[in-house]
Amino acid sequence: MIWSVSTAKMFERCQRQWFFKTQLASAKAKDEMRRRAWRLSKLQSLSAWRGNLVDQVISQEVLPAFGQGRSITSDQALASAMARFDRQLAVGRAHRLHENGFNPTALGDDFVAFHVLEYGGVLDEAEVKRARDEVERAIQSFFSMDELIARLRTADRLITQRALSFTHADTTVRAVPDLIAFKEGRAPAIVDWKVHVFGWRDAWLQLAIYAAALARGTVHSDFPVTKPFCETDVGLLEVQLLTGKLRRHRLTVEHIAQADGFIARSFESMLLATDGMNGKASMLPPTDFPATRYASACTSCPYRSMCWEALQ
């Protein structure tokens, strides 16, 4: 079983949703129920979509330019973001998720499926405009953070969206930091983009697990050679793109112990929920997993239709 921060949070929120997402959904399965769960996993809210779009622009266009020493301006990045916004919005409005023979991966990053359209609603045009405005604000805010820009431009290497993993007891922990910045003579830094209207959420636990994955995991072939480092050496930057605030997190040995304890407790709960059927839990009925007690979580769940069908 592969463990991650996002699946752990999902398990805490709703075990049945966690089952659909991590145990049942499969793009390659012959069983239609498993393929359906995979398709439904693609559903997004407008808010989540606009956050992903901002990450795409920064990770795929801005940071590669920095790494290659090329010039890129805020206006150029914003123009690219708006072009992506329009392309992806058009795909999302068409809601092609269940078309015969359609493969969502064929459109790459441009594929979008909106939760509200799957469940009989309509896109709120005011929310669409708000999402567009927030994409613009996030890009402009990023380019206004002079200290951060200077650090990224002078890094020896910038690696985005790299999957890291390490073994923790009987499970594999997987982490995908938004950005790892390497600089000769110092431990690497992990940067995490946040696109929240209210930039008050503290991400230290997530970043601690990212640091553990970087320090304990296998060194990738394109990682610059650095002196040995541990979790507490890793620089941790949480960047709130809608508020323009940068938070530096410093880990202590106690923080690492808390993160390790969280992983162990969470994984044990998942193992107990699946009766130890590691790799075969998809055979269990969905009703073996309790649903959330929070109405808001149920309303926004991509697997709502499958959950209700299971109850009937």
**Mean pLDDT score of the chain, rounded to an integer?**
92
* pLDDT (tens digit per residue) in 219-262: 899 998 777 899 999 999 999 999 999 999 999 999 999 999 99
Residue 282 within any structural domain of the chain? no
Residue 307 within any structural domain of the chain? no
140 in the same domain as 24: yes
* pLDDT (tens digit per residue) in 177-216: 999 999 988 899 999 999 875 544 557 899 999 999 999 9
* pLDDT (tens digit per residue) in 63-116: 999 999 999 999 999 999 999 999 999 999 999 999 988 888 889 999 999 999
Environment class of 277 (CB within 10 Å of its CB; exposed 0-12, middle 13-18, buried 19+):
middle
- pLDDT in the model for residue 149: 96
Residue 226 structure tokens: 């650095």
133 in the same domain as 33: yes
Kindly tell me if the per-residue pLDDT of 117 is higher than 90.
yes
Share of the chain above pLDDT 70, in %: 97
Instruction: Please count the CA atoms within 13 angstroms of the CA of 91 that sit on its side-chain side.
Output: 22
Residue 176 within any structural domain of the chain? yes
- CA dist 124 and 142 (Å) reads 27
- pLDDT in the model for residue 61: 96
Asked if 61 contacts 77 with a C-beta cutoff of 8 angstroms, the reply is yes
Asked if 39 contacts 97 with a C-beta cutoff of 8 angstroms, the reply is yes
108 in the same domain as 201: no
Rounded (5°) CA angle 17-23-24: 80
The count of structural domains within the chain is 2
163 in the same domain as 244: yes
The predicted model gives 52-66 an average pLDDT of 96
* Exposure string for 120-140, b = 16+ CB within 10 A, e = fewer: eeebeeeebeebbebbbbbbe
138 in the same domain as 208: no
Residue 49 within any structural domain of the chain? yes
Which carries the bigger pLDDT value, residue 225 or residue 17?
A: 17
C-alpha 127 chain-centroid distance: 22
Kindly tell me if the per-residue pLDDT of 156 is higher than 50.
yes
Kindly tell me if the per-residue pLDDT of 290 is higher than 60.
yes
- CA dist 147 and 150 (Å) reads 5
